[in-house]
Amino acid sequence: MIFGLVDSGLLIIFTYIGIDVDKHFNKHSSGVNGGLWGAAVGNAGTDLIAASIDPLMRAHALAIFIGCMIPIAFIPIVEKLRKRKAKKNEQNQ
């Protein structure tokens, strides 16, 4: 229960921070990309914090954090592919 409360509570905060940061630096943004980064990085961080606090998960905290960080490396790749597809669709219209 400790893990879930800390993890989800902090994740919600990090997602909102990501949306706000994205909108602040990119006035034409809906905040979705910032929310994605906030949630992804926030999830890794909150999992590390929550696992470190939870006595049953403490020994696995670093491995959990590393496992969460690996998929984050794919965000720029997926975003580049999405932009390429959007540009192609725009040209076809």
Provide DSSP, 34-68: HHHHHHHHHHHHHHHHHHHHSTTTGGGHHHHHHHH
When pLDDT is averaged across residues 46-71 and rounded to a whole number, the result is 93
Q: pLDDT digit string (tens) for 29-44? A: 778 888 888 889 988 9
Mean of the per-residue pLDDT values of the chain: 88
Q: Residue 5, CB half-sphere, CA atoms under 13 Å: how many?
A: 4
Task: Give residue 79's pLDDT.
Answer: 86
pLDDT of 4 higher than 90: no
Q: Using DSSP, how many helices (H) and how many strands (E) does the chain show?
A: 4, 0
Q: Residue 65: which pLDDT band, with cuts at 50, 70 and 90?
A: very high
* 8 Å CB contact between 15 and 39: yes
Provide the residue ranges of all domains of the chain, joining segments of one domain with +: 2-92
